[in-house]
A and B are shown apart, each in its own frame.
Chain A
Amino acid sequence: DIQMTQSPSSLSASVGDTVTITCRASHSVRRFLNWYQHKPGKVPKLLIYAASSLQSGVPSRFSGSGSGTDFTLTISSLQPEDFATYYCQQTYITPPETFGQGTKVEIK
């Protein structure tokens, strides 16, 4: 299996801050990397696919970058509705299409 490691596991930030979450793969996944947002009691929501392609309807303050083994999700000007847990997922090697362990973004 390809292992996906996110950092940090959690962070505290204020509304208006820029937040960066990183995801590292144990082997190259080229650019086959997705990002999801998951709020308590809700279903996960796709934000980014192919490392940097914004899913339709997702605000442009979300952006993704990276290739190979190192990827980044950036949230510019954090909004109250952005407090959630974020997961990366590789889909280059399947099965399984591994998720990272998650990064919880909390209000400071």
Chain B
Amino acid sequence: EAGVAQSPRYKIIEKRQSVAFWCNPISGHATLYWYQQILGQGPKLLIQFQNNGVVDDSQLPKDRFSAERLKGVDSTLKIQPAKLEDSAVYLCASSLGGSNTEAFFGQGTRLTVV
């Protein structure tokens, strides 16, 4: 079974520029998560989708971050404009959904804002 695919693996941008990350979850997985992981910290949930609907985006900085999951499959996370403090690894995860299903993570995208 193919895992969660993310691209790009690395991205370096200047502050105030925009950037987009892409995630392709495991086939058939209804739930998709985006996490931000700052160096030395645990992952912080940004947004959670169930199919193509948003379940939780309470920690998404909506003035600069946006995410969508068209057709309930692939998802994109965008930052515009980027700030220095957005430098982090952005992780995508998926699960079948429901209360007792395992979450699987992609390799992540390491973003450096200079």
The answer to whether A and B interact is no
Q: Which residues on B are within 8 Å of A, measured CB to CB?
A: none
Q: Which residues on A are within 8 Å of B, measured CB to CB?
A: none
